[in-house]
Amino acid sequence: MTENVTYGGYLKLNELLSCQQPRTGEHDELLFVILHQTMELWMKQAIHEISAAQAAVRAGDLVPAYKNLARVSRIQAVMTQTWDILATMTPADYLNFRAALGASSGFQSAQFRVLEYTLGLKDDFFLQYHAEGSEARAALEAALKAPSLYDDVLRQLAGAGFDIPQSVYERPSGARYAPHEAVEAAWLAVYRDTQAHWPFYQLAEKLIDLDDSFLTWRHKHVTTVERIIGRKRGTGGTDGVSYLQQTLTRRAFPEIWSMRTKL
């Protein structure tokens, strides 16, 4: 029955457009809400694409994964551009409604952590921000415990004959990834003979694109945050800009970066 489909009905626009409920009458608060909501929607799409890429990689089908991963990088680029819209909000504009935000912060975004965990940046520290038994907490715990995209890539490398210890990609549930020299050696071999290892070479370039665009997003966030709140503490309770600057060192695929120095 497609004849009853309407634009607004299909997209649930009544519901979607009633989700913007600023807590003050300040002009800029609507922009603040919409920027967060659109970013959360893009994160949802990115998680959807990464899980498809991961399923393909796990099945040994590297080529279909390229398409999903390339799409995620483009989504990240759009998310990064969003900071330019936010930058039109001055410190004075933000101060008009900042008190209404209480202790809420993007720091508590469950989807952002699911994204990090799914790529390979596992850190159980962030679980505490979500109540036990909540839907968000369950999603976070599942993503924390599941193998990451990088774990699945390393399993494929090992399966193709590269000498990578199983303990590197099969860690205790939720354990952080630690860079390993055997993994760096495998990527070095791939990049030293790209013709022989083209599928892994292309996959590695897609992964570094993804890490790169994630870092660009982080970088632009911290610059925009400094432009708006200077060195003040964040609503989420961290040191603010100095905390965000530390996150610029997070790499989901560390050996694909470190290997480049040795090539």
Residues in contact with ligand HEM by the rule CB under 6 A: 35-36, 39, 86, 94, 105-107, 109, 112, 221, 225, 228-229, 234-238, 240, 243-244, 247
The nearer residue to ligand HEM, 82 or 156, going by C-beta atoms, is 82
Provide the minimum distance between the beta carbon of 27 and ligand HEM in the complex, in angstroms, as a whole number.
Answer: 14
Amino acid at 55: A
Provide the minimum distance between the beta carbon of 130 and ligand HEM in the complex, in angstroms, as a whole number.
Answer: 14
Q: Distance between CA atoms of 257 and 248, rounded to whole angstroms? A: 14
The nearer residue to ligand HEM, 66 or 112, going by C-beta atoms, is 112
The nearer residue to ligand HEM, 144 or 244, going by C-beta atoms, is 244
Provide the minimum distance between the beta carbon of 128 and ligand HEM in the complex, in angstroms, as a whole number.
Answer: 13
Report residue 39 CA to chain centroid gap: 11
Q: CA-based Rg of the chain, rounded to a whole angstrom?
A: 20
The nearer residue to ligand HEM, 112 or 201, going by C-beta atoms, is 112
Provide the minimum distance between the beta carbon of 109 and ligand HEM in the complex, in angstroms, as a whole number.
Answer: 5
Provide the minimum distance between the beta carbon of 93 and ligand HEM in the complex, in angstroms, as a whole number.
Answer: 9
Name the nearest CA neighbour of 72 among 188, 203, 209, 176.
Answer: 209
Provide the minimum distance between the beta carbon of 79 and ligand HEM in the complex, in angstroms, as a whole number.
Answer: 8
The nearer residue to ligand HEM, 143 or 228, going by C-beta atoms, is 228
Backbone angles phi, psi at 53, to 5 degrees: -60, -40
Provide the minimum distance between the beta carbon of 176 and ligand HEM in the complex, in angstroms, as a whole number.
Answer: 15
Contact 131, 59 (CB under 8 A): no
The nearer residue to ligand HEM, 202 or 224, going by C-beta atoms, is 224
Residue with tokens 């090539």: 263
The nearer residue to ligand HEM, 76 or 109, going by C-beta atoms, is 109
Burial class (CB in 10 A: 0-12, 13-18, 19+), 92: exposed
Q: Distance between CA atoms of 151 and 173, rounded to whole angstroms? A: 12
Q: Distance between CA atoms of 72 and 46, rounded to whole angstroms? A: 5
Contact 154, 125 (CB under 8 A): no
Report residue 262 CA to chain centroid gap: 28
Q: Distance between CA atoms of 106 and 109, rounded to whole angstroms? A: 5
Report residue 141 CA to chain centroid gap: 16
